[in-house]
Structure 1
Amino acid sequence: MSSQDNLTLDIADWIVRQSNAPLPANMDHHVRRMLLDHLAGVAASAVGDVSRAVGVHVSRSYTGSTSTAIGHGRTSALGAALLNGTNGHGIESDEGYTPGSMHPTSVVFPAVFAVAQERGISGERVLIASAIGMELACRIADAGHPATRNRHFHNTPIAGVFGAAAAVAVLLELDANGVANALGLAGSHASGVFEFLGGSAEVKRFHPGKAARDGIASADLAEAGLTGPTTIFEGRDGYFAAYAGDEGTDWFADTLTRGLGEDWVLLRTYVKPYPCCRHLHGAIDAVLAIRNEHALDAADISSIDVGTFAIATRHAGRVLDTILQAQLSLPFTVAVAAVRGAVTMTDFAETTRQDAEIVALMDAVTVRLDEAAEASYPKTGRPAEVAITTKDGRRLVHRVEQPYGEPTNPMSDADLELKARGLVEPLIGSDGAKQLIESCWNFDTLEFFDDLDAAVRAYSTTT
């Protein structure tokens, strides 16, 4: 299935060359933005039930004290990556990349930070390694999507593990052959399917943590001398052949390499204003726009019609036994937006999931395929059109092409700070939030990780 000979080796060469160059100023700032968004989500997730369960596993299975698992103390690099990666995805607050439908920070940052602490690496090297790994992960996800999703795979772990392996390979200063072996080994770790959707399984949270851990293992094994297929991307039995199939044959090599090192696709990641699946955000934005423009009260609504792209229509579940089910439910989040005028983390609590007004309005929500939205997603938009019919017969329509937080509808640094404060102030207070924000904007070392960890653990002991 090769459409470009030596594709994996060419990418490995780029990784080595790029690792020896400073980041462009706009990329440096963007990675710091991503760092703040990521760590706020990690801290907020670290006190949840999924984090506790994975923490028990880490305490049983991993020994060491080289790296910080925020909210859980020191452990091995593998254990820290597993926990921090899980927590990075733990409340659905993590940014993402629309063309690839994946979340690079929750896989790559935890792997980089764990190894950087273990090996005593800090400063610009950490940011460069992170940027390279996330750039590669986004491109791999883009090259395979939506074929990979249509084959039931979760892009964040299956593409993310390559980004984590590449980033750690940069920290380990592997040569091009070593990087190619690390990528080849990562191909044997790529895993994660969407069967959690619609059920009560929480394994989705675990996927980035597993990929972060496995990315470290891939690079570490390559450094130790184990070889992997250096044709993992282009090979007949390689990643794209297995995960994208015939749908991926026409464009995957071009997507991986076009403008590589000059056009950073990572600059086109989005930030989430709402802690739920990104596929739902366009509809939420549309409901809020109608609500605000018409001073609409939820009691006046007769029905809500949501037209969107096909993958988003799969998120029409109405079973709300868990927080995750609610975070993946278009009918629920649209109803919350209509009733409360916002969608925040507290809106996914059991009391809200059982709120009679919200549940009744959720039953009045229909989700359908919008052909124009389907034609746009994922390459040019993430659209949703909402039509609200009121009890007095009005039909109020609003269409969103790009939800808030996309690069074409960006979230400001100030709003990003507000988001971070909203996530962490309940745990670590305003002073702790201020310290976290300043540490990310002025990032140079990972020393503040232990302070953040201690603050989160102090909160955990009081709840």
Structure 2
Amino acid sequence: MTQDFATFATNLAFDDLPEDMIKLLRRSFLDTLGVAAIGSQTEMSHIARRGALALFGAGTAGGSRVLMDGRSLSPAGAAMAGAFMIDSIDAHDGTTPNKGHAGSAIFPALLAVADSLRQNGRQITGQDFAIWLALAYEISYRAGQVQHATCPDYHTSGAWTAVGVAAVVARMIGCDAEQIRHAAGIGEYHGPRSQMMRCIDFPTMLRDGVGWGAPSGVTAAYLAREGFTGAPALTCDSKEAAPFWDDLGIRWLTLEHTHYKLYPCCRWAHSSIDGAQKLMTDNALHHSDIAKIEIRTFHYATRLAGYEPKTLDEFSYSIAFPVAAMIARGKIGPDELTPETLNDANILRISRATTLIDDDDMTARSIEKRWAAVTLETLDGRRFEGPPMTPRGDVDQPASDQEISEKFHLFADSILGGIRANRLENLCNHFDLLDAPEFAEFLDLILSAPTT
């Protein structure tokens, strides 16, 4: 028999987790910390931390250190600052059917609450944290699928991660199943129903809504513990939601739908980036050879215009410019997330020569995949047509452990230093085996400010 989400959230034990789920959580931990490290240096992250420090002082819940910062706020404030930090670099894990991301809200929220509990004397082990992560991912994924199936607007990840964060933080702070139901309802009701396509069409620091989804979920849990009511959460407890929950505990959507990004920009551009890279390599082309680019892709992706991005936000939600960067430089990493790159004449020339084609067939197929096909035309008239592709990093084209490790070090080493980065990687790779003192050391490494 299956169980409702509140019973599942109350009773899940470490031994209930599939081994593949534990492996996924280890990968997501490492991947997310790398993104947090480079994200800690962005203007968006600095602004969010200044705002959080101005407004979210520690209260009776106890202090929580801000991710990669070390300064103390309330759990909600630390969750907000950490979520904006991760979201400022569009390279964190995601789920294609939900058109969004869970880890960018879950990790900062759960780390903030765990730190507050630990500073209040709670002994937390790696097994405890693995249970909480697994619950938050799975509940968020399922709530998100319900929302996309039942709501006319395309809402950001903050809308449905608020539900998962609320339910799991409620468990963390000792709520029973009924209080967990109310926490999910409060998180769903007060979570940010922000419209994602607004930020696609007008890219700003609003991003994917997790900067408010994470603290909304944290706040909801503490309210529910005090007796605030909010059930039912329609994404969890309604008649329309039931089909999305009837195999809970038997099937893990997190295992089926979690992908990892190999480039720090919107996932919708990745198949085009991969396609362009393959054509350049297979045909020994140089960027100076390229005269024109055509990209056939699904409708939402064609709204990632960004031919001449002026900010990191515009870069993150563009397609022509990242593809041109791959053609011109053969890579998209930290060096491409700079003001100098936005003014690179070689990249701008190619970006301006790009045509996006809204392809009805690819739009119809781009539900659980993101399809694109790239054609390159050279100055001497040659034409190279690539096949339709989906991005690497999906479950059927997984990023290897080595690729996740290399990405982490590419993002983290220059910020954290090699010794700290290596120690974090080692601990991520077996965090679920850490006892309470070892997990406390792990938290210290994650939450303290960079010293390089």
TM-score clears 0.5: yes
Distance 1:170 1:370 in 2: 45
Per-residue deviation, residues 12-40 of structure 1 (Å, max 9, x unmatched): 22222325753111111111111111111
Q: Work out whether 1:134 is the aligned partner of 2:137.
A: yes
Q: Which residue of structure 1 aligns with residue 247 of structure 2?
A: 259
CA drift at 1:441: 1.1
1:321 corresponds in structure 2 to 310
**Distance in 1 of aligned mates of 2:251 and 2:203:** 40
Displacement of 1:128 in angstroms is: 0.7
Report the 3-state secondary structure (helix = DSSP H, G, I; strand = E; otherwise coil) of the residue aligned with 1:304: strand
Aligned residue in 2 for 1:294? 283
Name the SS for the 2:322 alignment partner.
Answer: helix
Secondary structure of 1:401's aligned partner: coil
* CA deviation after TM superposition for structure 1 residue 152, in Å: 4.5
Of 416, 423, 442, 1:448 maps to 442
Given the two structures, how large is their TM-score scaled by the length of structure 2? 0.90
Q: State the partner residue of 1:161.
A: 162
Using the TM superposition, give the Cα deviation of residue 404 of structure 1 relative to its aligned residue in structure 2, in angstroms: 1.0
Answer with 294-303 or 12-21: which moved more.
12-21
Q: Does 1:16 align with 2:16?
A: no
User: Following superposition of structure 1 onto structure 2, how do residues 306-345 of structure 1 map, counting pairs within 5 Å?
Assistant: 306-345=295-334
Alignment partner, residue 226 of structure 1: 228
Conserved 8 A contact 2:65-2:447: yes
Per the alignment, residue 431 of structure 1 pairs with 419
Written as runs of structure 1 = structure 2, the 5 A alignment for 1:107-118 is 107-118=105-116
Contact kept, 8 Å, 1:307 with 1:386, in 2: the verdict is yes
Partners of 2:308 and 2:383 in 1: CA distance = 28
Shift of 1:453: 4.0
The aligned residue for residue 282 of structure 1 is 271
Residue 372 of structure 2 corresponds to residue 384 of structure 1: yes
The CA distance in 2 between the partners of 1:146 and 1:320, in whole Å, is 33
| Residue pair 2:14, 2:130 contacting (<8 A) in 1 also | no
1:222–1:30 Cα change, 3 Å? same
Determine the structure 2 residue equivalent to 1:245: none
Report deviation, 1:446.
4.1
The one-letter code sitting in structure 1 at the alignment partner of 2:170 is A
CA 258–279 in structure 1, closer or farther in 2 if over 3 Å, else same: farther
- The within-5 A match list for 1:371-410 is 371-379=360-368, 381-410=369-398
**What residue in structure 1 maps to residue 65 of structure 2?**
68
For residues 429 and 23 of structure 2, what CA distance do their matches in structure 1 show? 8
Residue identity matched to 1:223: R
Find the counterpart in structure 2 of residue 246 from structure 1: none
User: Residue 84 of structure 1 is aligned with which of 76, 82, 85?
Assistant: 82
Q: Structure 1 residue 217 and structure 2 residue 211: aligned? A: no
Tell me the SS of whatever aligns to 1:362.
helix
Post-superposition CA distance 1:341-396 (Å, at most 9, x none): 111122131111111121111111011122232121113x2111011112222221
Q: Which amino acid aligns with 1:303?
A: K
- Partners of 2:96 and 2:286 lie apart in 1 by 32
| Superposition deviation, residue 106 in structure 1 | 0.9
Letter in 1 for 2:386: H
Partner of 2:234, secondary structure, is coil
Query: What residue number does 2:102 align with?
Result: 104
Structure 2 CA distance, aligned partners of 1:318 and 1:395?
A: 22
Aligned equivalent of 1:48, options 38, 42, 50: 42
> Quick one: structure 1 residues 377 and 258, their matched pair in 2 at CA, closer, same or farther if it must change by over 3 Å?
farther
| Superposition RMSD in Å | 2.1
The aligned residue for residue 189 of structure 2 is 188
Deviation at 1:338, TM superposition (A): 1.0
Give aligned pairs, total: 433
The percent of aligned pairs where both chains have the same amino acid is 28
After superposition, residues 364-375 of structure 1 pair within 5 angstroms as 364-375=353-364
Instruction: Supply the distance in 2 between the matched residues of 1:331 and 1:204 (Cα, whole angstroms).
Output: 19
Paired residue secondary structure (1:204): coil
Q: Is residue 47–residue 71 contact of structure 1 (8 Å, CA) maintained in 2?
A: no
Q: Is the 8 A contact 2:93 2:260 kept in 1?
A: yes
Which residue, out of 347, 351, 367, partners 1:358? Answer: 347
| In structure 1, distance between residues paired with 2:232 and 2:290 | 58
Q: State the Cα distance separating 1:179 from its structure 2 match.
A: 1.2
1:71 partner amino acid: M
Q: CA deviation at 1:234?
A: 7.0
Query: Which string of whole-angstrom CA distances, capped at 9 and with x for unpartnered residues, describes residues 392-443 of structure 1?
Result: 2222111343211111000111111110000011112221210110111121
The secondary structure found in structure 2 opposite 1:197 is: helix
| Contact 1:383 1:399 (C-alpha < 8 Å) held by counterparts | no
Return the alpha-carbon distance in structure 2 between the equivalents of residues 363 and 286 of structure 1.
18
Match of 1:4 in 2: none
Q: Distance in 1 between matches of 2:292 and 2:148?
A: 33
Measure the CA separation in 2 of the matches of 1:11 and 1:451. 33
Q: CA deviation at 1:319?
A: 4.2
Asked whether the 8 Å contact 1:129–1:167 carries over to 2, the reply is: yes
Please name the residue that 2:153 is paired with. 151
CA distance in 1 between partners of 2:39 and 2:106 (Å): 17
- Alignment of structure 1 residues 242-257 onto 2, 5 Å: 252-254=241-243, 256-257=244-245
Go from structure 1 to structure 2 and tell me whether the alpha carbon gap of 1:146 and 1:183 turns closer, same or farther (over 3 Å shift): closer
Structure 1 residue identity aligned to 2:280: R
Check whether the contact 2:29–2:428 (CA below 8 A) recurs between aligned residues. Answer: yes
Distance in 2 separating the partners of 1:451 and 1:16: 29
Q: Unaligned regions of 5+ residues in structure 2, if any?
A: 119-123
Moved more, 136-145 or 88-97: 136-145
**Aligned equivalents of 2:99, 2:247: Cα separation in 1:** 20
Whole-angstrom CA distance in 1 between matches of 2:334 and 2:265: 9
Q: Deviations over 1:59-89 (max 9, x none)?
A: 2112236322123223221221111111121
Preserved CA contact (<8 Å) 1:272 1:405: yes
- Letter of the aligned partner of 1:312 in structure 2? A
Aligned 8 A contact 2:273 2:323 in 1:
yes
Quote the Cα distance in structure 1 between the aligned partners of 2:448 and 2:6: 38
